[in-house]
Chain A
Amino acid sequence: MALIEVKDLNFSYDENTHAVKDVTFSIEKGLYCTIVGHNGSGKSTVAKLLAGLLEKKSGSILIDGYELNEENLKVIRNKIGIVFQNPDNQFIGSTVRDDIAFGLENHCVKQEDMDELIETFAARVNMTKFLDAEPLKLSGGQKQRVAIAGVLAMHPEILIFDEATSMLDPQGKDEIKRVIRDLHKEKDLTILSITHDIEEVAKSDYVLVLDEGKLIMEGTPASIFKNEQKLTDTNLDIPYAMKLKKALEEKGVLVNPHITMEGLVKELCQLRLKK
């Protein structure tokens, strides 16, 4: 059984519109999964439904075998950590230390164990130096790192990033992407990242594509990008290597689909040698 099993999930904010419509998917443990779709496609709603922050209208969500319902809510919340988009609005404590402690307090961790835990998790996101800093003194990227530490302290099995890098500058984006990648590698974490960053999608293990609340495609990045027409029809970006492939085709050069530039260049080199 997969770690996350979603079946016929439906949700709507009001009577007339479906924010999420008959969505079914499953995600195996340990995968780095990305969710794409343009704004308003229902990506964030799916994330909030998974984390139990919204109540589904119908369908079922199974996390690690537990059905997401009133009764299991607490168990499931402990399994899922979620990092949101806005770095300012999820910083609860008045210092980095207090912010990481907030979640520990909620989980009734013994007071004498807290300092050690706070330091461990701050170290994991490289924020040890800033433990006593106030949020005003931190950059967006640093605040998001604190948010990740705060979530990690809950020992989740699944980490959801709801456009966690979209409000950051390039440097902040890089920092966070690196932290996420490292976490995925080192710990046995399952990552669910909602993103517009096509390069991040290309490097992920599994992709879900949402459009108007419906799951329109899922699979490995390679298989998703193969269906380029469908992606462009739903106004989604494709990696540059795919764009160039298309342009090459128009000039009569046929190459295999590649997600990364390196892959495409490698094949072009072989084609050049043949000439």
Chain B
Amino acid sequence: MSITFEKVSHIYSEGTPYEHLALNEVDLEIQEGKMSAIIGETGSGKSTLVQHLNALLLPSKGKLHILERTIEAGTQPKGLKSLRGDVGLVFQFPEYQLFEETVLKDVAFGPKNFGVSEQDAIEKARKAIHMVGLDSSFEEKSPLELSGGQKRRVAIAGILAMDPKVLVLDEPTAGLDPLGTIQMMELFKELNTKYGKTVLIVTHDMEQVYRYCDRVIVMKEGKVHIHTTVEDFFHDSKACKEMKILPPSMIQMCDLLRENGFAIPEGIHHTSELAEVIASQVVKHG
């Protein structure tokens, strides 16, 4: 019951001079229960890919299996609405989708659209607000009074209240400060480990991918270029350099140390481990 893409292509404005092939026969299987990062240059098809997951976009060619549903090009799929409840998609800068007078009402908006009763929707909203780390004093506040980071949390709660099995986030930390970014990523990790959600994150930030994600999907020119584990991907900085992206600081440091004659084994994941390795190779002061 996972998510698979079978030769999925997506063409924008087909048959017009603006025609654009955004996805080109993508084959992909997304593991359930994992936290995956989708990376790639602007225009590589990341956003188009994720919008297929809740059928905002339908494939021009090929077939998708999403949580027991099949979406095939050329057919009008059924049960789209329930799919949108199962796959929660959070757009970039989601704070711009808030519109209700209070935080609680806004978060309850999603579940109500799925026919949940007023009472239950409020209940679900309360739970979701708690899940994103906001206390109950926020419930009656207007979304407009909140800080940028808090607004974003409310927007994410609005998706979580629909109780999705899969959570897809398009650049969720864009524009946040370093602390806000870490808090946000910790939240997703918790949703993944504690609440068992499958999490997919579109991002440019390798530091976060390295620190929080399990798997990496690299998009390039409308195709899945690489799909592997984070360990394998950041094995060394080669893959990053090939894609002209800055590898995580720790990988950069390991490389630099190796170049300077240090013996740094593979598979180091924490700065403390790296410090340990270095300590064994240098003279200690004091």
Contact = CB atoms under 8 A, between A and B. Distances in A.
Interface of A: 38-40, 85, 139-140, 166-167, 169-172, 196, 198, 235-237, 240-241, 243-244, 247-248, 250-254, 261-262, 265, 268-269, 271-272, 274-275
A267 B63 CA distance: 56
Given A254-B286, A274-B282, 6 more contacts: A38-B180, A169-B42, A171-B42, A236-B178, A253-B278, A261-B256
Nearest to A171: B41
Interface string B199-221: 00000100000000000000000
A253 B275 contact: yes
Interface in B139-181: 147-149, 174-180
Contacts of A251: 272, 275-276, 278-279
A237 B147 CA distance: 20
Contact of A171 (B244, B260, B286): B244
Interface stretch (B71-79, B101-109, B246-254): B246-254
Contacts of B253: 240-241, 244, 261, 265
Interface string B111-128: 000000000000000000
B179 A275 contact: no
A254 B177 CA distance: 31
A85 B174 CA distance: 12
B282 A170 contact: no
Interface residues on B, range: 35 or more
Given A240-B249, A251-B279, A253-B279, A167 B42 contact: no
Contacts of A167: 174-175
A247 B271 contact: yes
A245 to B, nearest CB: 9
B1 interface: no
B177 A38 contact: yes
